[in-house]
Amino acid sequence: MKDFITETHKQQCVDTLKELIAIPSVLNEGEAGTPFGKNIQKALETTLELAKRLGFETYIDPKGYYGYAEIGEGDTLIAILCHLDVVPAGDLTKWETNPFEGVIKDNQLFGRGSQDDKGPTVATMYAVKALLDAGVSFNKRVRFIYGTDEETLWRCMARYNELEEVADMGFAPDSSFPLTYAEKGLLQVKITGKGSSDLALELGQAFNVVPGKALYEGQHQNDLKENLKALGYAYETTNEGVVVLGEAKHSKDAAEGVNAIIRLIEGLSPIQSHPAIDFLLTHVGHDGTGGQLFGVIEDEPSGRLSFNVAGLTIDEQHSEIRIDMRIPVLADKEKLVKQLSETVKKYGLVYEEFDYVEPLYVPLDSELIQTLLKVYREMTGDMSPAMTSGGATFARTMKNCVAFGAAFPHTLLTEHQENERIPLDDLYQAMAIYAETIYQLLML
């Protein structure tokens, strides 16, 4: 295998990455004239201008939802699925550097987006530039698709798929090597019902987090504490009330967490009742796999279903349970929905779908996966098997696409955290892998 990457490509990649990190492309829907905020729009326009300088033909959605850069010719389209939006910086006091200034320290490039997903995006773009500089002929079209809403609702890719050509194959450089060939379906639902005049709860935060704490502010705090003690559940007493403690995890790993909401309502149920509580304790309980509700739901490619009770609201007007499910790729989503809907109906509750993202599944023996694995293994010597995930990447927005890098098995994952960073050696190695991979895909 030829090494297409030169020192010039490495330096240009770092300089460009610094330029993009300096744009704080965090969602801000309140700014007029753009769907997701002026900084996200600036990141998109800056990236497309860079692509144009590298030799790509570019296009930007008139409404600003997405853009793409394309090079090559022919009927076959290879997609590189990237995103330019980032999560907020978090606690600035915990950063060793300015989160929106790319800083090299200890041979690592610090900055928000360095790992997720500006660093891998730029590395892949310069991988293509290296192929061009080496005189490689692009007999297929390679299209970088730049999303702007990946960290929230994926509205960018929904609009792209509504209006644009779907790729024949491709990958998202927004995960880990060697590659992820199956991603569970993501279903987020709300179970609504009547309110309560004597019970008020506002529990949980994001859909994708197992609640690690649950606060009770009502009049039965002493009785609740006695029940929690009898159950052996940890809690804290604060000025606000009783805080029941669990263990937070990502929803995809719900079975590994301890759901503080379930612990709280279990302690509360002998004191106060409500249909939402009755449903949760009878049919969900502490099982993060949905086993009490559905039985065992699993498949060979992607494992078992995960079921997270992410939030619970009860007030005078209404009640709402918020649930995040990661559904195995071969499971029947509609059958699960029907079963859940019929069960909650018995409690006077109503099923409402909030969001659904279809699963990703590309068979291991496919030409795409075999090509990517061969390149990665020959260039690294790492024979790790391809992976499955309960997480979600843009790869699942198109058929025959997978998540491929850019983090290595040894890489410390810092995305969404303070001091997000990418080791420069990893950046350069990923660039080399992407160059060889795209070269091999052109040869198919």
Rounded to 10 deg, the angle between the 424-443 and 7-21 helix axes is 110
Task: Estimate to the nearest angstrom the gap between the alpha carbon of 338 and the chain centroid.
Answer: 26
How many domains is the chain built from? 2
Pair (206, 265) in one structural domain: yes
Same structural domain for residues 66 and 112? yes
Which of 325, 357, 389 is at the close of a domain? 357
Query: For position 118, which CATH number holds?
Result: 3.40.630.10
**26 in a structural domain:** yes
**Same domain as 174, residue 25:** yes
Mark which of 357, 374, 409 sits at the end of a domain. 357
Which residue among the candidates 61, 70, 85, 117 is catalytic per the annotation? 85
Is the same domain home to 435 and 371? yes
Same domain, 380 and 267: no
pLDDT value of position 205: 83
- Note whether residue 2 is domain-resident: no
Q: Which of 357, 381, 399 is the last residue of a domain?
A: 357
pLDDT of residue 3: 87
Statement to judge: residues 128 and 29 lie in one domain? yes
In a structure prediction context, what are the per-residue pLDDT tens digits for the chain, which is 444 residues long?
Answer: 788 999 999 999 999 999 999 999 999 998 888 999 999 999 999 999 999 999 999 999 999 999 999 999 999 999 999 999 999 998 899 999 999 999 999 999 999 999 999 999 999 999 999 999 999 999 999 999 999 999 988 999 999 999 999 999 999 999 999 999 999 999 999 999 999 999 999 999 889 889 999 999 999 999 999 999 999 999 999 999 999 999 999 899 999 999 999 999 999 999 999 999 999 999 999 999 999 999 999 999 999 999 999 999 999 999 999 999 999 999 999 999 999 999 999 999 999 999 898 999 999 999 999 999 999 999 999 999 999 988 889 999 999 999 999 999 999 999 989 999 999 999 999 999 999 999 999 999
Q: Is 85 a catalytic residue?
A: yes
Same domain as 78, residue 97:
yes
Catalytic status, residue 365: no
- Tell me, yes or no, whether 59 lies in a domain: yes
Q: What's the pLDDT at 32?
A: 84
* Residue 289 shares a structural domain with residue 395: no
Interatomic CA distance for residues 409 and 191, integer angstroms: 39
CATH of the domain at 296: 3.30.70.360
DSSP 247-268: B--BGGGGGGSB-HHHHHHHHH
Q: Would you call 353 helix, strand, or coil by DSSP?
A: strand
Residues 204 and 127 reside in one and the same domain: no
Q: Which of 61, 70, 117, 150 is catalytic?
A: 150
Does one domain contain both 191 and 150?
Answer: no
| Range(s) of the domain holding residue 250 | 185-357
Q: What share of the chain is helix, strand, coil (3-state, %, to 5)?
A: 35, 25, 40
The model carries a pTM of 0.84
Whole-number pLDDT of residue 9? 98
Is 151 in the same domain as 31?
A: yes
Which candidate, 20, 37, 39, places its Cα nearest to that of 28?
Answer: 37
